[in-house]
Chains A and B, each alone.
Chain A
Amino acid sequence: MWVYEKKLQYPVKVSICNPRLAKFLIEQYGGADGELAAALRYLNQRYSIPDKVIGLLTDIGTEEFAHLEMIATMVYKLTKDATPEQLKEAGLGDHYADHDKALFYHNAAGEPWSAKYIQAKGDPIADLYEDIAAEEKARATYQWLINMSDDPFLNDALAFLREREVVHSQRFREAVEILKETQAQKKFF
């Protein structure tokens, strides 16, 4: 089960109201390579993978929810003082018409989140390679977001998230090696 802590994993500061940036950041909230996809992918895969790597999938999956909360905080802080006019100018008119300033699970283009973004193949090697790819895609996405942002406070938090993806990718690669070793140890008489 899950315990919630009333604290962000890493502080999120924002220099100035900037709904345009928020529109892009939503990609990591409800997008294909975003934190929701990551959390649900790993937490679901863990039911059908070998015991040795269940801990890793549980822990990384849980951390992704903490990251989801950070993205939500960024969007919240970037839009909370914006007028409907400012939101419209920033390309968030469609979102505002449906949601006001509520957050929602869609990507930067407005496409709603889908379980089609994730897979659980039942084959641990297939699953782990998908997980490595997911982390690399997320890392790249954070880099593109940093490229578009000139807010140094925001970029600090985005760089933190980018580096977490690098570490997660590394852990999943180690998990593959652990499983390969276990498979190699099988003896047939």
Chain B
Amino acid sequence: MAKETLPDDFYKLMEDLQAIDFVIVELNLYLDTHPDDLEALKQFNTFAQQSQNLRRTIEERYGPLLGAGKSYSTYPWAWIDPPWPWQM
């Protein structure tokens, strides 16, 4: 997937994922110092699930987002394809 051929909806989907993952990071750090906050923990799991669902949608269209076997790849090996984050 070359950078020049990126459709607009790629950026929209990535921004949606960035928004969900940001909530996750916030909850993660908060839970690190407030491990007994049940509500926060429930929210964390809810957003984690949303993130996985959206990531699946993005990856089906645009290729793997995570390394170390956390994402699958189509053939040929798509991990090495641009765009990389600073090229987006």
Contact = CB atoms under 8 A, between A and B. Distances in A.
A77 B22 contact: no
Interface string B9-48: 0000011011001100110111011100000000000000
B29 A11 contact: no
Contacts of A73: 85-86
B33 A3 contact: no
Main secondary structure on A side of the interface with B: helix
Interface residues of A, number: 28
A7 B65 contact: yes
Interface of A: 1, 3-12, 53, 55-56, 59-60, 63, 69, 72-73, 76-77, 167-168, 171, 174-175, 178
19 contacts: A4-B68, A6-B66, A6-B84, A7-B17, A7-B18, A8-B18, A8-B85, A9-B18, A9-B21, A10-B18, A56-B32, A59-B29, A69-B85, A69-B86, A76-B86, A167-B29, A168-B29, A174-B33, A178-B33
Interface of B: 14-15, 17-18, 21-22, 25-26, 28-30, 32-34, 64-68, 70, 79, 84-86, 88
